[in-house]
Structure 1
Amino acid sequence: MPETGTTETWDYTLYIPNDLRAVTVCRRTLRVILAMHELTALADTAELLATELVSNAVRHTKGPAALRVRRSSEGLVWIGAWDTDPEPPEPPVPLGRALEAEEGRGLGLVVACAEYWGWQPSARFGDRGKYVWCELPAC
C-alpha cells in the first residue's frame, strides 16, 4: 500500500496481435487493473476510451499493437494505444456528429470524455508507429 499522502504510481503494457478479439482482452484487463488499484469509479469511462483507442489501432493498421495504462504521481490515469502507423490520427469528429455517424466516432468520444488527449510518434517491436493517448483524473 502507498504511504498516506502519496499517490501510488504504476505502469502496465499489454502487447496484442492485430486481431479484433484483442480489444475485448484489453477491456477486461483494464477493468482488472483499475479494480486492483481501487479505481473502479473510473472503470466505465476508462473502458470506453481504451476500447476506442485500441479498436482504432487494430482496425487501421496491419501490425501488432499495445495498450498502456499508467497512473502518474499527479493522480492521473493515462491510457494509450500504440500502433504501427506513424501517421497522425484523423482529426476527431465533434461529438454531436460523431454519435450519428456509422464510423469515426472514436476520437470524438475520447475528446468528450477525457481530461486531455493527444498523440505522439513512437516505436515498439522495431516498428515505427504512434501512441494515441488520453488522461483521466483519478483523484
Structure 2
Amino acid sequence: MATVSPENRWSYSLTLPHDPRSARIARLTLRGAVESHGMGELADVTELVTSELVTNAYLYSDGPTDVRIKYVADDRVRISVWDRNPEVPAPFERPVVQGKGRIPEIDPEAPRGRGLRIVRLCADNWGSWSAGASYLGFQGKLLWCEVSPASVPFAVAVTA
C-alpha cells in the first residue's frame, strides 16, 4: 500500500562533532532550511533556539550532537537536539501541557543556565526524552521545541 505524505512536509538532519563551532554551523544550516522553504519569518527564532540547544549539548555532553528540523504543520517547525548525556536539565525536566508552566528562576550571578530558559520563553511548545544506557545500548537525551510565527514576538523581546 502506498503512503502519500501531505504537501510541504520536509525535514533535515545534521550530525555535529563535539566542537565549539557546532552551534554556529547548526544556526546557519537551520536558518537556511526555513528560509529555503519560504518560512523566513521564523529564521531569527529558529536560529536563537537552535543556538541555545546545541550550546547546551556541547557544554554538558562529551560526544557528537544530532540536530533535526522538521516541518510539523500550520507553519510550525520542530527543532530536536540529541546528545549523549541522559540528564535532562531543570528547564526541560517537567512535562507541561503545550509548553506552558512555570519556568525555573535563574540566579542572576550564575555563570550559566539562561539558554534553555530562553528556549522555553521563545518556543510555542517544548519537551524532552531521556534514555539511560539500558535503552538499546544508547544513552542520551532529546530536547525539542516548536516554533511558529506566534513565537517571533517573544524571540524579539528576549533578544532586545
Could you say which TM-score interval applies, normalised by the shorter chain?
Answer: 0.7 to 0.9
CA drift of 1:107 comes to 1.1
**Which structure: larger Rg?**
2
CA drift of 1:91 comes to 2.8
SS in 2 for 1:81: strand
Counterpart of 1:82 in structure 2: which amino acid?
A: W
The answer to whether the 8 A contact 1:85-1:129 is kept is: yes
Q: Under a length normalisation based on structure 1, what TM-score does the superposition of the two structures give?
A: 0.82
Q: Under a length normalisation based on structure 2, what TM-score does the superposition of the two structures give?
A: 0.72
Q: Which residue of 2 aligns with 1:105?
A: 114
Q: Which residue of 2 aligns with 1:3?
A: none
Matched, 1:117 2:134: no
Matched residues in 2 for 1:100 and 1:47: separation? Answer: 26
Q: Which residue of 2 aligns with 1:136?
A: 147
Matched residues in 1 for 2:141 and 2:9: separation? Answer: 23
Per-residue Cα deviation, 1:2-33 (whole angstroms, up to 9, x for no partner) = xxxx6511111100000011111101101110
Counterpart of 1:64 in structure 2: which amino acid?
A: P
Counterpart of 2:27 in structure 1: which amino acid?
A: R
- Segments of 5+ residues of structure 1 without an aligned counterpart are 1-5
Matched residues in 1 for 2:122 and 2:107: separation? Answer: 13
| RMSD, aligned CA | 2.6
Matched residues in 2 for 1:61 and 1:38: separation? Answer: 34
SS in 1 for 2:89: coil
Summarize the Cα distance change of 1:51–1:117 in structure 2 as closer, same or farther, 3 Å threshold. same
The answer to whether the 8 A contact 1:77-1:138 is kept is: no
Identical aligned residues as a percent: 37
Matched, 1:10 2:10: yes
Q: Which residue of 2 aligns with 1:88?
A: 88
